[in-house]
Amino acid sequence: MRTTERTMDLGLAKPSSSLMGRLALAFTKVASVWRVLRNRREVNRLTDLTDAQLLDIGLTRLELEAALTTSSFFEDPSSHLTKSARRGSRFSSFGLLRS
């Protein structure tokens, strides 16, 4: 009998994370939540702008309201606005008007 015919699959144990690794992960999570909350506050400030000012930065009031209502509490609404503004700039570069 050969030894290659009788092998056992022994799963390797995962090493436990070090204290510094766990602290770094926790800091990353807290920083991410802080960034989302800060961006949500800044997007809320955009509602104070007039429609003309919003158009100057490539957004409409409807896009602003949609970004705030479609994103969950811990989701960054600024990513929705970035996509809308980029989409609007492509339309304007082709000479198309946004409504």
- 64-89 pLDDT per residue, tens: 998 888 888 778 888 888 887 787 66
Residue 32 is assigned to a structural domain of this protein: yes
Q: Which of the pair, 26 or 11, is modelled with greater confidence?
A: 26
Count how many domains the chain has: 1
Residue 27 is assigned to a structural domain of this protein: yes
Whole-prediction pTM value?
0.59
Residue 46 is assigned to a structural domain of this protein: yes
Q: Which of the pair, 21 or 9, is modelled with greater confidence?
A: 21
Q: Model confidence at 50, in pLDDT bands (50, 70, 90)?
A: very high
SS (H, E, C) 5-20: CCCCCCCCCCCCCCHH
* pLDDT per position as a tens digit, 52-67: 998 888 888 999 998 8
Domain span at 28: 19-93
Residue 1 DSSP symbol:
-
Residue 79 is assigned to a structural domain of this protein: yes
The length of the chain is: 99
